[in-house]
Amino acid sequence: MTKAKKILITGNEACGEGAVKAGCRFYAGYPITPQNELTAYMSRRMLEENGVFIQSESELAAVSMIFGASLAGARVMTTSSSPGISLKQEGISYLAGCQLPAVIVNIMRGGPGLGNIAPSQADYFQSTKGGGHGDYYMVVLAPHNAQEMFDFTYEAFDIADKYRNPVMILSDGALGQMMEPAFVDRKDKAKGRKQKNWILNGCKARKPRVIRSLYLKDGELEARNKDLQKKFDKMRKDEVKFERYKTNDAKLIMVAYGTSARIARSCCDELRKKGKAAGLFRPISLWPFPYKQLESLDKGKTKFLVIEMSAGQMVEDVNLAIQDRKRVYFHGRMGGGIPDEKDIINLANRILK
Amino acid sequence: MKEEILCAGYGGQGIMVMGRVLAYAAMNSGYHVTWMPSYGAEVRGGTAHSMVRVHSNSIASPAVRYPTSCIVMNKPSLLKFSKRVKSHGLLLIDSSKISDGEIKQAVVGLNNICVKKAPFTEIAMSLGEKKVANMVTVGAFNKVKKLFSIKELIKAVSFILRDKDELITINEKAILHGYNMEI
């Protein structure tokens, strides 16, 4: 049962409000379906909050603009959908290289290429394994409802500042466009926010600071990379998030995130009604992936069923966690297809036989 | 409660608002609810549809492919969605611009579904505003299905139109008219 004070809001708008409440006052973006409501929402809210909204001339321009504003100390965000996020990869690599905080939201749609405008999860590799060039990672959070679209975006700005690194919210067209009840009222972090101590804001009365990603001297770049890796190791230790649902006695554990996780959870309930011990493991941080937490659920005979709206991307991480690949199964839909509950339940029944 | 509603019609008939009124009433009645629009590529000149799920438990996919209740406001939507209504489901038709023969043809072979029709657009015109056909339909729909109290529906529409005061009265009137009509 839902409680009072919740409002009905699209995932896109909940994400935008999460950013506003986190103190984001600089947004640059370029329109693309299915995330247009988010850009439209920010155009209105930035005006109301005396922030900056820019509809840029291109995706590369948008990510470059938030790069500049982040240098100057603002809390910044850009959002797009799959083809647009591909165009932003150069900027994301530079943000990581220059150690600049930023929040990037991907409301995934069908690909490759221009694909279509239906929901998809086929950008998992791009988000968690690099995307841009060079040795970098970023925390990737995967919400599965409107409430988490708000909450995770709200938290993402703190994570970005903590590590001085970009953070990605990885969602999909269904979560972005659907409306659901959610609480979107939390403390506005813009109020009383302290100035960051590394920003470029004019060096009168202090030594100039330099922020760059170009290191040409012998050994300099490798040393820089070692520093970055220390940071990524700390994220691997401290930023793992996941949710378990009925996994304690489960003989079959589904592994899914985002929209697929909603469907998987419903399938678990249906299977339980028929006396089948099914559970769900939902990675929330896709990077760092909860390898150990998933592995700890493996009782030797446990079967794992990975469900994705892709040809099978996260399943590779599940295979790293569960060494016995014969017990890892996969069901996926591609190109905008949404997994069907009947198909999953049939497959689960076959696996459990 | 597990109601899967699909509202369909032309872009401009208020199909999205129709779904949102039902969704708000569902939320305020204490149910889990999702609302989702059809994707933009097909809106211009063609049919638009919105999908609402109202469940007692948490909702998996927000998409509705096979509705338990289907509301169609034009002929293309009738032809597209009538065959998808679930067994024991409801098909509610705005018959203003569709002949009885066409409706019969569209529902031929559909067993176990309840078909209801009324000229909602014509009724709205008689109320003085063609655009409130969607609200007349919502009222009539709730009369048939009895999902929510009429009070919650009225509350929902006045909330959605809170920035457009001048439209609230006529929309409330339309819902009440739909709710009280014979169908």
The tens digit of pLDDT for each residue in A30-79 reads: 999 999 999 999 999 999 999 999 999 999 999 999 999 999 999 999 99
If one compares A76 and B40, the residue with the highest pLDDT of the two is A76
Residue B158 has pLDDT above 60, yes or no: yes
Alpha carbon of A337 to those of A85, A116, A142, A268: distances in Å? Answer: 20, 11, 19, 20
At B34, list the tokens: 């999702």
At residue A4, the 3 state secondary structure works out as: coil
Of A34, A173, A181, Cβ closest to residue B33:
A181
* Paired sense of beta strands A303-308 and A328-332, if any: parallel
CB contact (8 A) between residue B30 and residue A179: no
Residues above pLDDT 70, as percent of chain B = 96
ipTM of the complex: 0.89
Alpha helices in A192-257 (DSSP H): 220-238
**pLDDT confidence of residue A28:** 98
User: To the nearest whole angstrom, how far is the Cα of A179 from the nearest Cα of chain B?
Assistant: 5
Report domain extents, chain A. Answer: 7-238, 243-352
Q: Which residues of B touch A117 (CB under 8 A)?
A: 39-41
CB contact (8 A) between residue A117 and residue B41: yes
At B108, list the tokens: 């031929």
Q: Using a CB–CB cutoff of 8 Å, tell me whether A178 touches chain B.
A: yes
CB contact (8 A) between residue A181 and residue B37: no
Residues above pLDDT 90, as percent of chain A = 96
Polymer length of chain A: 353
Residues from B contacting A (CB-CB < 8 Å) are 20, 23-24, 27, 30-37, 39-41, 57-63
State pLDDT tens for residues B92-145. Answer: 999 998 999 999 999 998 889 999 999 999 999 999 999 999 999 999 999 999
CB contact (8 A) between residue A6 and residue B27: yes
**pLDDT confidence of residue B38:** 83
User: To the nearest whole angstrom, how far is the Cα of B105 from the nearest Cα of chain A?
Assistant: 31
Using CA coordinates, name the residue in chain A closest to B58. A266
| Whether domain A243-352 has CATH 3.40.50.920 | yes
**pLDDT confidence of residue A5:** 81
Residue A1 has pLDDT above 50, yes or no: no
CB contact (8 A) between residue A177 and residue B57: no
Q: Is the peptide bond before A339 cis (omega within 30 degrees of 0)?
A: no
Q: Using a CB–CB cutoff of 8 Å, tell me whether A122 touches chain B.
A: no
CB contact (8 A) between residue A180 and residue B63: no
Q: Which residues of B touch A265 (CB under 8 A)?
A: 58, 60
In the block, tokens 């029709």 appear at B117
Residue B40 has pLDDT above 60, yes or no: no
**pLDDT confidence of residue B44:** 57
Alpha helices in A98-169 (DSSP H): 124-128, 146-163
CB contact (8 A) between residue A341 and residue B60: yes
Q: Is the peptide bond before A34 cis (omega within 30 degrees of 0)?
A: yes
User: To the nearest whole angstrom, how far is the Cα of A195 from the nearest Cα of chain B?
Assistant: 38
Mean pLDDT of all residues in chain A? Answer: 96
Residue A4 has pLDDT above 90, yes or no: no
Using CA coordinates, name the residue in chain B closest to A263. B60
Contacts of residue A326, Cβ cutoff 8 Å, sequence gap at least 6: none
DSSP states along chain B: -EEEEEEEEETTS-HHHHHHHHHHHHHHTT-EEEEEEPPGGGTTTSEEEEEEEEESS--S----SS-SEEEE-SHHHHHHHGGGPPTT-EEEEE-TTS-HHHHHHHHTT--S-EEEEE-HHHHHHHTT-GGGHHHHHHHHHHHHH--S-HHHHHHHHHHHTTT-HHHHHHHHHHHHHHHHS--
State pLDDT tens for residues A282-339. Answer: 999 999 999 999 999 999 999 999 999 999 999 999 999 998 999 999 999 999 899 9
* Paired sense of beta strands A76-80 and A102-108, if any: parallel
Instruction: Compute CA A334 distance to the chain's CA centroid, rounded to the nearest angstrom.
Output: 19
Contacts of residue A332, Cβ cutoff 8 Å, sequence gap at least 6: A307, A308, A309, A310, A311, A312, A339
Q: Is the peptide bond before A288 cis (omega within 30 degrees of 0)?
A: yes
Q: HEC profile for A250-268?
A: CCEEEECCHHHHHHHHHHH
CB contact (8 A) between residue B60 and residue A266: yes
Mean pLDDT of A163-173: 98
Which CATH number does A7-238 carry? Answer: 3.40.50.970
Q: Which residues of A touch B43 (CB under 8 A)?
A: none
**pLDDT confidence of residue B39:** 59
At A52, list the tokens: 């900056």
Using CA coordinates, name the residue in chain A closest to B33. A180
State pLDDT tens for residues A219-244. Answer: 999 999 999 999 999 999 999 999 99
- Structural domains of chain B ordered from first start: 2-180 (3.40.920.10)
- A145 confidence band (pLDDT: 50, 70, 90): very high
If one compares A28 and A5, the residue with the highest pLDDT of the two is A28
CB contact (8 A) between residue A269 and residue B57: yes
Mean pLDDT of B40-55: 78
Using CA coordinates, name the residue in chain B closest to A175. B62
Residue A3 has pLDDT above 70, yes or no: no
**pLDDT confidence of residue A178:** 96
Residue B41 has pLDDT above 70, yes or no: no
Q: Which residues of A touch B37 (CB under 8 A)?
A: 177
Low-confidence winner among A97-101, A328-332, B35-39, B48-52 (lowest mean pLDDT) = B35-39
**In chain B, what is the greatest distance between 2 CA atoms, to the nearest angstrom?**
45
Q: Which residues of B touch A338 (CB under 8 A)?
A: 61, 63
Q: Which residues of A touch B57 (CB under 8 A)?
A: 269
Are A7-238 and A243-352 the same fold in CATH?
A: yes
Using CA coordinates, name the residue in chain B closest to A337. B63
Using CA coordinates, name the residue in chain B closest to A146. B34
User: To the nearest whole angstrom, how far is the Cα of B18 from the nearest Cα of chain A?
Assistant: 14
Q: Please, what is the Cα angle at A208 between A207 and A211, to 5 degrees? A: 135
